[in-house]
A and B are shown apart, each in its own frame.
Chain A
């Protein structure tokens, strides 16, 4: 293999190209990215950048010298537009055709939008800088979507002294992700911090000046942020022969086709640890899957299944939320330490007969490590959770 092409210049792409070099691959590594900046970190966009605590330079994932040492053929500011799988060639928007022997697809996701013009989204550094310039004490921000991103932005805006109305279609925000009881704890924090929270309301339009609800009500706002999830960037793969279904579909090795791997937010793969297909939009998964894809591409004879315990964190107000495992589709949630009403607790999640994950709020991060080990070991629920623990959902 003498030419490896990585499409996508964010965390997953970086992990892939670093791993290729670390594993001793000394052929050509071409890296394509549609943004003009490469390799910056996104989690701080809705936290330290929005709050003006950090300047953009601090987002660089590696110092320039470390990137230079990778010896990359960098193609930034241009998107991949088409994949010719049989001809092993990727076509770029600027007309370039790049042949490859191995390909890693790490094109990420883009924000889902709503009808209307002039609302903000929050995915790129540019998005974050525009929104932070508009957030001021006394200004009124409407946030559509009380998921992790919308919640973090709402918390930052309150901290800056802005008025915030947070609109969420679901009756309980984040219930699909963390369960209704934990979702209620997280949303109570918004109420405690003076956010005007509207749940169970559908939004039909979000634009400059406000949000239109399904019942016709108009919520006025100086700025509107739409944070209602993401769409995988797979348009350029249409017609290529690869399977696309809410992400690039990959097998347990993170392979989409011979010599073609997916990594990061865009990849939907079969995680054998949980026995299900998943697509994870969390920062840690981007790094882990980028590494795994690179290793499996280089060593087809010694491929390893990509079977991680997913991890995410979120900072909202003074709370740090951390979770290990795969919480979606869980059957039961049990508080195993602390107290939901006190806002300091560890909750364990059961799926079938197994411990599927654990989430902590306001607890020392080390507390979760023993739970992570049990999730990784596919612990039986009856072994992991004492029967005296309180069932909450």
Chain B
């Protein structure tokens, strides 16, 4: 799984951090999303999909990679 974020869309709601704190953080000053892991491990895929679904600005894009 490849994670991409669009900072220009991010509205700093922090829903992604609530769902997947291992993968997303927020900048202290303005709350804009910070991507901690572009290719999170398989054990995190469910929470990352949850985060992408909950993002109120559709700022998280997931591309499923063919592993191997």
Interface residues of A (CB under 8 A from B): 15, 18-19, 22, 41, 43, 58, 60-63, 66, 283-284, 287-288, 291, 311, 313, 315, 320, 322, 364-366, 368-369, 372
Selected A-B contacts with CB under 8 Å, 21 pairs: A22-B53, A41-B57, A41-B58, A58-B9, A283-B56, A284-B54, A287-B53, A287-B54, A287-B55, A291-B53, A313-B11, A313-B56, A315-B11, A320-B12, A322-B12, A364-B30, A364-B31, A365-B14, A365-B31, A368-B14, A369-B14
A63 in complex: contacting residue of B54, B57, B61, CB < 8 Å: B61
> In the complex, how many angstroms separate the beta carbon of A387 from the nearest chain B beta carbon?
29
Identify which of A19, A66, A364 contacts B28 (C-beta below 8 A). Answer: A364
The number of residue pairs between A and B whose CB atoms lie closer than 8 Å in the complex comes to 59
Q: Find the B residue at minimum CB distance from A288.
A: B54
Collect the chain B residues with CB atoms within 8 Å of residue A19's CB.
Answer: 53
Whether B13 sits at the interface, judged by CB under 8 Å, is yes
B61 neighbours in A (Cβ, 8 Å)? 63, 66
When the two chains form their complex, are residues B57 and A62 in contact, meaning their CB atoms are under 8 A apart? Answer: no
Per the bound structure, the CA–CA distance linking A123 and B39 in Å amounts to 37
Besides A313-B11, A322-B12, 5 other CB < 8 A contacts? A283-B56, A291-B54, A311-B13, A313-B13, A366-B31
In whole angstroms, what is the CA distance A288 to B9 when docked? 19
List the A side residues contacting B50 at CB < 8 Å. Answer: 291
Residue ID in chain A nearest B31 by CB atoms: A365
A287 to B49, CA, bound (A): 12
Residues of chain B in range 31-61 having any CB-CB distance to chain A below 8 Å: 31, 49-50, 53-58, 61
Residue of A with least CB distance to B50: A291
- Contacts A313-B13, A320-B12 given: A284-B53 contact, CB under 8 Å? no
Q: Could you tell me if A311 and B15 are in contact, using CB atoms closer than 8 angstroms?
A: yes
Residues of chain A with a CB closer than 8 A to B29's CB: 364
A344 to B56, CA, bound (A): 24
Q: How large is the interface on B (under 10, 10 to 19, 20 to 34, 35 or more residues)?
A: 20 to 34
Asked if B15 and A284 sit within 8 Å, CB to CB, the answer is: yes
**A65-B60 Cα distance, complex, nearest whole Å:** 15
CA distance A58 to B9 in the complex (A): 9
Give residues 2-34 of B contacting A (CB, 8 Å): 9, 11-15, 17-18, 26, 28-31
Residue of B with least CB distance to A372: B18
Most buried by B among A66, A313, A366: A366
A287 to B18, CA, bound (A): 14
A219 nearest CB across to chain B (Å): 33
Q: Which residue of A lies closest to B46 (CB)?
A: A22
> Are A61 and B12 in contact, CB atoms less than 8 angstroms apart?
no
* Distance of B66 from chain A, by nearest CB (Å): 14
**Is A284 a contact partner of B13 (Cβ separation < 8 A)?**
yes
Residues on the B chain within 8 Å of A66, using CB: 61
State the Cβ distance, B39 to closest chain A Cβ, in Å: 18
B45's closest neighbor in chain A, by CB? A22
